Amino acid sequence: MNTPLKGGPALARAAADALRRGDARAARDLFLQAAQAGQADVPVLLGLGYACRSLQDWGGMGASADRVLTLEPRNLHALIMKGDSLEQAGDSRASTAFYRAALRSAPPGEMLAPEMLQELRRVQLASEEFGKRYEAHMRAWLRERGYDDTQAQSRVGEALDLLLGRKRVYLQEPRFFYFPQLPPQPFHDRALFPWLDAVEAASDEIRAELEGVTQDDSTWTVFPLWQGGTLHEANAARCPRTLAALAHAPLARIPGRTPTVRFLRLQPRMRTPPQNGAINTRLTVHLPLLVPGQCRLRVGNEMRELQENHAVVFDDTIEHETWNEGDRPRIVLAFDIVRPDLSEDENRWIATLVEGIDAFPGQKAAWDL
């Protein structure tokens, strides 16, 4: 005669043994008894979920997954179980949300067991298949109502790309200081900065000074004229026409921090890592001076091909990166300017806030343009 099992741990062990030998019904009953006996931990609830899956008890599996996710919101097994339960219920949209959460939460493949890698490949394929069906539905729905290539290039088109996962949402994420209610616009309309005409018109003179610098030293990546709000006297003396061209530019001015004016060199076939600037109360200007073939700048979801003597204005607190696919170095003149949507009084208080941050004891955080 079998002695009745007593206590949650004993019941949990017996349930795991039953699951290993393929007796899913006994395993489900024993896992339930273990949970009722106070052993409702993650291993027991996951075991219950797997037993329910073997019995095609999809509702039970989903309920077990819910309880695990209450304890461990990023548990891969539970996320996949929940997705599977919803898929069996016919809700592909909801199941895909859990599959994608599992894919986002998964560690690198070399850290996973082969069985989990196989499961993740399965849900990846299911997620991609749903994405195709959903995109086909949405595009057909919109076409029937007059959607065409004109809308595809508009904010409506961008909203559709975000909805379908073809683009992602990029926000201002400054590393040092965030000022609220400034629109997260990747590139700013060149026409809003008429003073740039004079800067671009001086491109040949600026390039001539740059050539003198590169002839003397071909190893630098950054050649500062203003750095951290301080004029670099020796470098500035070599580039007087460059600084004269910026005489009417609204350079950002925060004591001890800005302006920042410098030449930036990117070597051939190199790419900078994605990065975010320090503070969103300024904009960054790049004036391309040497563009050897295809050189690109990505800010958020938008990409621009750089052209010599044509400046671009962008928000560097939105994730950005640059490429040089040419066979010679790419060099730009980079400087920071005040945002036109900030008032003079706001700029004064921003400078005061930053000075206060820097005045607090401790190491002063470094900025980059």
CATH (domain of 58): 1.25.40.10
Do residues 222 and 338 share a domain? yes
3-state secondary structure of 140: helix
Do residues 227 and 348 share a domain? yes
Domain assignment present for residue 171? The answer is no
Do residues 90 and 237 share a domain? no
Do residues 104 and 204 share a domain? no
Domain boundary among 114, 132, 150: 132
Tokens 């109502």 belong to: 145
pTM exceeds 0.75, yes or no: yes
Q: Positive or negative, the Cα torsion across 101, 107, 108, 114?
A: negative
* H-helix segments, 222-342: 233-238, 240-245
Domain assignment present for residue 77? The answer is yes
Domain assignment present for residue 104? The answer is yes
Instruction: Report the alpha-carbon angle 217-222-227, nearest 5.
Output: 120
Check: CB of residue 99 under 8 Å from CB of residue 90: no
Residue 128 phi, psi dihedral angles, 5° rounding: -65, -40
Do residues 241 and 120 share a domain? no
Do residues 128 and 31 share a domain? yes
3-state secondary structure of 270: strand
Domain assignment present for residue 365? The answer is no
Check: CB of residue 337 under 8 Å from CB of residue 251: yes
How far is the C-alpha of 284 from the C-alpha of 58, rounded, in Å?
Answer: 54
Residue numbers of the domain that contains 14: 8-132
Q: Which of 302, 239, 279 is nearest to 369 (CA)?
A: 279
Instruction: Report the alpha-carbon angle 118-120-124, nearest 5.
Output: 120
Contacts with 329 (C-beta within 8 Å, 6 or more apart), sequence order: 265, 266, 267, 268, 290, 292
Do residues 109 and 215 share a domain? no
Contacts with 261 (C-beta within 8 Å, 6 or more apart), sequence order: 224, 225, 226, 242, 243, 246, 251, 333, 334, 335
Do residues 256 and 353 share a domain? yes
Domain assignment present for residue 109? The answer is yes
Domain assignment present for residue 170? The answer is no
- CA dist 4 to 14, 40, 193, Å? 11, 20, 83
Check residue 357 and give its pLDDT: 92
Q: What domain count does the chain have?
A: 2
DSSP 26-95: HHHHHHHHHHHTT--SHHHHHHHHHHHHHTT-HHHHHHHHHHHHHH-TT-HHHHHHHHHHHHHTT-HHHH
Domain assignment present for residue 80? The answer is yes
Do residues 211 and 328 share a domain? yes
Do residues 80 and 216 share a domain? no
Do residues 196 and 58 share a domain? no
Instruction: Report the alpha-carbon angle 364-253-272, nearest 5.
Output: 65
Supply the Cα-derived Rg of the chain in whole angstroms: 29
Do residues 228 and 330 share a domain? yes
Taking phi first (over 0 means left), then psi (-120 to 50 degrees means alpha), and beta for anything else, what does residue 312 get?
Answer: beta
DSSP state of 363: P
Check residue 222 and give its pLDDT: 96
Domain assignment present for residue 156? The answer is no
Q: Which amino acid is at 32?
A: L
* H-helix segments, 164-273: 196-201, 203-216, 233-238, 240-245
CA 15 and chain centroid, separation: 44
Domain of residue 353, CATH code:
2.60.120.330
Domain boundary among 64, 98, 132: 132
Contacts with 119 (C-beta within 8 Å, 6 or more apart), sequence order: 76, 80
Domain boundary among 116, 132, 148: 132
pLDDT by residue for the chain (369 residues), tens digit each? 455 566 789 999 999 999 999 999 999 999 999 999 888 899 999 999 999 999 999 999 999 999 999 999 999 999 999 999 999 999 999 999 999 999 999 998 888 999 999 999 999 999 999 999 999 999 899 989 888 878 887 888 889 999 988 898 999 999 999 999 999 999 999 999 999 999 999 999 999 999 999 988 878 999 999 999 999 999 999 999 999 999 999 999 999 999 999 999 999 999 999 999 999 999 999 999 999 989 999 999 999 999 999 999 999 999 999 999 999 999 999 999 999 999 999 999 999 999 999 998 888 888 865
